[in-house]
């Protein structure tokens, strides 16, 4: 057989192989570019906030880069999933602005193996971000349909436990917690949550009237169970429902 014929057949075989490979290749991720743009925006903001309480941990940004926010919003909102703003998820609730999710996670400082309580599961996005740290996340949602939807989304995380209940009272069965993240605004800091915070633990919570801008607080309990609060920045959250 002529060498030219062998070369021709090899070329044809290679062409068929690459054509088949292309046919079975995964389609391009339509959210890759907007997700990258969001992370770049947050990274730039973090650089500007260097040395302040609002600087985002680079490790948290890496988590946001791999958690698919578009899977935690309704189909009608997916086009805007990587905009740096809150989005409606139904029942008068929202998925928080990515910057705020990143900041609250940074402030809570969750670590692998630690117990973390989240009040207000919503769509499940904040719980997913917390779970990516390796912490054991216990998350409570008072709106039953949202709790059901979030539980379905969060099944991929074996370190997340969900519950439909009034988050004002925490989750005593799993207390104490190394960190507590509250994703709805309380008129004041709920005493049950302070009680369930472990000495040395941190709670991040928006506090204030639902009709005005609230304040994001960092609540720290020292090893002698003394509590100190620090104001971080003005925020707007949906109100925390339930409680006395």
**Intra-chain end-to-end CA distance of the chain, in Å:** 90
Catalytic residue among 46, 76, 96, 123: 96
Ramachandran region, residue 234 (left: φ > 0; alpha: ψ -120 to 50; beta: rest): beta
34: burial class by Cβ within 10 Å (0-12, 13-18, 19+)?
A: middle
Beta bridge partners of 163: 140
**Taking the mean position of all CA atoms in its chain, how far away is CA 33?**
20
Residue 16's nearest CA partner among 4, 24, 27 is 24
Radius of gyration of the CA atoms of the chain, in A: 22
**Is 76 an active-site residue?**
no
Q: Who contacts 244 (Cβ-Cβ below 8 Å, separation ≥6)?
A: 168
Question: What positions carry a catalytic annotation?
Answer: 96
């Amino acid at each position: 057989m002529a060498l030219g014929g062998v070369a021709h057949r090899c070329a044809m075989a290679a062409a068929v192989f690459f054509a088949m490979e292309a046919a079975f290749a995964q389609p391009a991720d339509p959210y890759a570019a907007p997700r990258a743009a969001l992370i770049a925006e947050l990274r730039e903001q973090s650089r500007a906030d260097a040395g302040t309480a609002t600087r985002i941990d680079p490790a948290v940004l890496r988590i946001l880069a791999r958690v698919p926010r578009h899977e935690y919003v309704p189909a009608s909102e997916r086009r805007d999933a990587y905009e740096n703003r809150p989005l409606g998820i139904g029942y008068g609730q929202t998925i928080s602005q990515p910057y705020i999710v990143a900041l609250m996670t940074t402030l809570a400082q969750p670590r692998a193996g630690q117990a973390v309580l989240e009040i207000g599961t919503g769509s499940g996005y904040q719980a997913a971000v917390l779970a990516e740290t390796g912490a054991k996340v216990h998350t409570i949602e008072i709106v039953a349909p949202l709790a059901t939807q979030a539980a379905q989304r969060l099944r991929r995380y074996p370190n997340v436990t969900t519950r439909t209940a009034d988050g004002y009272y925490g989750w005593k069965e799993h207390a104490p917690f190394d960190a507590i993240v509250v994703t709805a605004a309380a008129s004041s800091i709920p005493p049950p949550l302070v009680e369930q915070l472990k000495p040395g633990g941190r709670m991040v919570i928006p506090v204030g009237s639902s009709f005005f801008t609230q304040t994001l607080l960092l609540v720290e309990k020292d090893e002698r169970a003394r509590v100190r609060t620090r104001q971080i920045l003005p925020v707007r959250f949906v109100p925390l429902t339930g409680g006395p």
